[in-house]
């Protein structure tokens, strides 16, 4: 009779509460997807909201931005509280708060209730997001860890890509209110699944008094910084825009708001260092940044965010204002990026097993920078039949985004101890959120500067009166191109000779397209820089082997010491 081959017992893919790790991962991925989608899902519904509730563009912008403002400001605080009371409990509370905010927003009869709903949603989102990442860092170990972080990163990339499409579908075929009813249903279902599936975990307990000073300083700092990023275009980044009042020294309010935010964050860091040195509880362990993987990984994450959100900001402007695609058609095009990210996210895990997380991230940046350069050379004035190439570059960019996003989080969190996972995840999430806001602001500034360099020379070739030329330049640039279709539908344009109409369209489209193209070129250089930095990230496989050798050496020393004592 043949003996059964002996070997290691097969490791069961179950969490500490007996639930399947696959189910736990699915629930966490769904939770993070809801939060990320709500950052962009409302964007395409703005015109419908303006019409239905009789809102100005400035008012409806705050429907989008208030969520980001509250969300970014409270991530660190709720991440720390989750460590203390339990991450599962905080996630469930967050889902309930998010659901309540979604109901308020869905039923809102005017602007004020809608803003209140978005505020509550932001609070709920800030409760949920840090718990998802810290739970993964604590629950998934060994071979499952690579798969878990790959799924987590891919979920974020895919959610950001498909959110505008889902928002466009609801707005086009139903009502903008279904954007929020969708949140209600999703939060309810995911909340029930989280209660059933996710095991509880805790981090470092709060010793003594809660770090109230850190809470105030961090909240104020992030509120000021995010507010400045949101309102910079409206008030002027340095000098006040026409129609706005200057603050001290004749400057716009924005530099002073940024200064206040920076001072508050510096004081926050100083306070955290003092408290940590005295052995007291802190909102954020500054010592997290001593880990090379954590500090460098967050820098690479910022470059990744600038690339992604810069593209998502710029490409729709070109598709809608130059190629004249509708909002829903634009959503379908952008969705190609999400498809690429979904596919590459699935290949990221076996790729890591044969190489390393660092190699996968660097490969992702190579795809991203290469496809962004492809956009730069493709989106040119007069280029015809380029929609096929846009699909190609988007697919390749999505593949790169899936690779990079799938493993960046893993590398950032690899050295963070379980007890500090909540703090590490909230700091990482805060940096990512600020990076996305910073990306749109920085890319927006660069884009506007390029437009002022490319559009006026084209408009001057129309030989219009100076006043008309200035008005055309101002209205096109201030509206980021959305006024182009309106100009071409105006009575003056339609009554002009056909030859002038053709020339007008060519010159305006040419100047705007050059501005888009040049900005995408800068975006590709930023991604290239991120790719270079990714090469100096720590090699997690070498580190793991070194830790195993160190552990074996310690075991040997203990055994030898025990033997010596027995003798």
> Quick one: which of 25, 39, 56, 64 has its CA closest to 432?
39
- Which two three-digit tokens encode residue 509? 């489209």
| Contact indicator for 505, 324 with CB cutoff of 8 Å | no
pLDDT digits (tens, 9 = 90+) for 479-505: 778 788 888 888 888 888 888 888 988
Q: Domain ranges in the chain?
A: 13-205, 207-280, 285-538
pLDDT number for residue 189: 96
**Low-confidence residues in the chain, pLDDT < 50:** 1-5, 8
What confidence score (pLDDT) does residue 3 get?
A: 47
| pLDDT recorded at residue 270 | 94
pLDDT at 468: 86
pLDDT at 566: 58
What is the DSSP code (8-state) at residue 142?
T
For the domain 13-205, what is the CATH code? 1.20.1250.20
Q: Can you list the pairs that 538-547 forms with residues at least 24 positions away whose Cβ atoms lie under 8 Å?
A: 538/292, 538/293, 538/296, 538/358, 538/411, 538/414, 538/415, 539/356, 539/358, 540/293, 540/356, 540/357, 540/358, 540/410, 540/411, 540/414, 541/356, 543/414, 543/415
Report pLDDT for 166.
85
- Domain 285-538 belongs to what topology? Growth Hormone; Chain: A; (1.20.1250)
CA distances from 256 to 198, 227, 262, 436, 456 (A): 44, 11, 10, 21, 31
What does the pLDDT read at residue 564? 57
pLDDT confidence of residue 107: 95
The pLDDT value recorded for residue 220 is 93
SS3 244: coil
């Amino acid at each position: 009779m043949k003996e059964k081959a002996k070997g290691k017992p097969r490791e069961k893919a179950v969490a500490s509460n007996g639930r399947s790790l696959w189910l736990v991962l699915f629930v966490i991925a769904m939770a993070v997807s809801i939060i990320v989608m709500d950052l962009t899902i409302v964007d395409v519904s703005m015109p419908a909201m303006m019409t239905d509730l009789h809102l100005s563009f400035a008012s409806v912008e705050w429907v989008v931005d208030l969520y980001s403002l509250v969300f970014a400001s409270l991530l660190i605080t709720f991440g720390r509280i989750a460590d203390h009371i339990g991450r599962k409990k905080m996630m469930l509370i967050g889902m309930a708060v998010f659901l309540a905010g979604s109901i308020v927003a869905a039923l809102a009869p005017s602007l004020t209730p809608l803003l209140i709903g978005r505020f509550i949603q932001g609070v709920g989102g800030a409760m949920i997001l840090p718990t998802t990442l810290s739970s993964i860092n604590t629950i998934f170990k060994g071979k499952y860890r690579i798969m878990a972080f790959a799924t987590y990163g891919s979920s974020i990339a895919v959610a950001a890509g498909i959110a505008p499409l889902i928002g466009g579908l609801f707005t086009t075929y139903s009502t903008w209110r279904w954007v929020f009813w969708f949140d209600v249903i999703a939060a309810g279902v995911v909340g029930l699944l989280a209660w059933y599936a996710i095991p509880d975990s805790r981090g470092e307990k709060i010793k003594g008094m809660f770090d109230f000073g850190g809470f105030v300083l961090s909240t104020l700092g992030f509120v000021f910084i995010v507010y400045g990023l949101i309102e910079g275009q409206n008030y002027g980044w340095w000098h006040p825009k026409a129609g706005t009042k200057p603050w001290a020294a004749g400057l716009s309010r924005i530099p002073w708001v940024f200064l206040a935010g920076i001072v508050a964050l510096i004081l926050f860091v100083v306070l955290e260092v003092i408290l940590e040195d005295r052995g007291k509880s802190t909102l954020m362990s500054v010592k997290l940044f001593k880990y090379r993987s954590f500090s460098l990984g967050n820098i690479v994450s910022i470059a990744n965010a600038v690339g992604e959100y810069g593209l998502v900001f710029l490409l729709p402007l070109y598709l809608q204002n130059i190629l004249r695609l509708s909002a829903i058609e634009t959503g379908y095009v952008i969705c190609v990026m999400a498809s690429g990210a979904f596919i590459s996210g699935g290949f990221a895990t076996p790729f890591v097993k044969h190489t390393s997380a660092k190699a996968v991230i660097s490969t992702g940046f190579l795809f991203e920078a290469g496809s962004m350069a492809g956009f730069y050379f493709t989106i040119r004035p007069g280029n015809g039949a380029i929609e096929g190439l846009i699909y190609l570059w988007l697919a390749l960019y999505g593949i790169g985004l899936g690779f990079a996003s799938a493993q960046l989080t893993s590398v950032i969190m690899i050295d963070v101890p379980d007890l500090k996972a909540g703090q590490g995840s909230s700091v990482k999430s805060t940096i990512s959120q600020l990076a996305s806001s910073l990306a749109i602001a920085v890319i927006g500034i660069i884009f506007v500067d390029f437009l002022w360099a490319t559009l006026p020379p084209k408009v001057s070739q129309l030989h219009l009166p100076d006043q008309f030329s200035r008005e055309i330049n101002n209205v096109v640039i201030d509206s980021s191109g959305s006024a182009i279709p309106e100009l071409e539908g105006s009575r003056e344009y339609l009554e002009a000779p056909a030859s002038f109409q053709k020339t007008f369209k060519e010159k305006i489209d040419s100047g705007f397209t050059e501005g888009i193209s040049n900005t995408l070129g800068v975006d590709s250089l930023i991604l290239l820089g991120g790719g270079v930095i990714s090469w100096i990230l720590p090699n997690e496989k070498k580190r793991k082997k070194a830790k195993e050798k160190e552990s074996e050496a310690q075991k040997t020393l203990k055994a030898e010491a025990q033997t010596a004592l027995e003798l």
